[in-house]
Amino acid sequence: MENNQKFIPGIYNWCDRWCERCPQTDRCRVYEREEDRKKNYPEKDWAEVVADNFAETLQMLQKMAEEMGLDLDSEEVKEETAAQMALEEAQEVIAENHPLHELSEKYWKKGKAWLDSPLLKEKVLQWKSMVELGVMDLDLAESNLRMADEAMEVINWYLFFIPVKIKRALHDQMDSFWDQYPDEERSDLGTAKIASIAIDRSIGAWGMLFKLFSEQEEVVEILAILEKMRRGLIEVFPNYPKFIRPGFDDQP
């Protein structure tokens, strides 16, 4: 009981999954499970864990259905499932084609192309020769490198996270299930909120790169895409700031 009370319900649903930097690891059940997995099954990779969980969930579902007197193989259940799946697929297509999602796709593609280019390597070599020529202070070169490293770590972490979360938020917005909830608890708003946090942090990180690579037009273009996304998100989900992320927005 004591162990259960320390966990914050649903904290992992609206976090950025960056456990290494999370201040709430000791209150997160997902983190604890993952640590247990690493300790108990260090040889298992994620694909195996997901497969195990899938089988376990199916068994649990079957048991629950039996207890509720539900026949999962009945025509009625099959028809309902098919209708639900068709609806989910239609929502998925609409979300994928939404301009906000298209913008997020453009962002990761442009961002990845820049990160994969040899620009940083060239810049490092440039700093190195400037230090050797005595026109750049060694401390400044090292601080530039640290800044570039930190910026790229942040950008890489959120690069694919942003499109995934934007699509999820658009998808959930179409689900009338959330209409019965207040803004503080609506999943679509929570997902939009964590997407906006990821966008803000990415803007900060690209801004750091801009200081180091000010001659790079692509960095400015990428920043412009992020800013468009930031504005688009508040237009499409005007109430997302009201959402309270358990464990993060409700802590003193």
Contacts to ligand SF4 by CB under 6 A: 11-12, 15, 17-19, 22, 24-25, 28, 30-31
| Closest to ligand SF4 by CB, 28 or 198 | 28
The CA angle 46-48-52, to the nearest 5 degrees, is 115
| Closest to ligand SF4 by CB, 20 or 215 | 20
Nearest in space to 98 (alpha carbons), one of 224, 227, 229, 202: 229
Using alpha carbons only, how large is the chain's radius of gyration in Å? 23
Query: Alpha carbon 89 to chain centroid distance?
Result: 21
Residue 106, judged by CB atoms within 10 A of its CB (0-12, 13-18, 19+), counts as middle
Nearest in space to 147 (alpha carbons), one of 216, 207, 199, 201: 207
| Closest to ligand SF4 by CB, 32 or 92 | 32
* Least CB distance to ligand SF4 at residue 165 (A): 13
| Closest to ligand SF4 by CB, 202 or 209 | 202
Residue type present at position 164: V
* Least CB distance to ligand SF4 at residue 192 (A): 17
| Closest to ligand SF4 by CB, 11 or 155 | 11
C-alpha span between 173 and 185 (Å, rounded): 13
* Least CB distance to ligand SF4 at residue 8 (A): 8
- Joined together, the tokens standing for residue 251 give 């802590």
* Least CB distance to ligand SF4 at residue 39 (A): 16
C-alpha span between 85 and 71 (Å, rounded): 18
* Least CB distance to ligand SF4 at residue 199 (A): 17
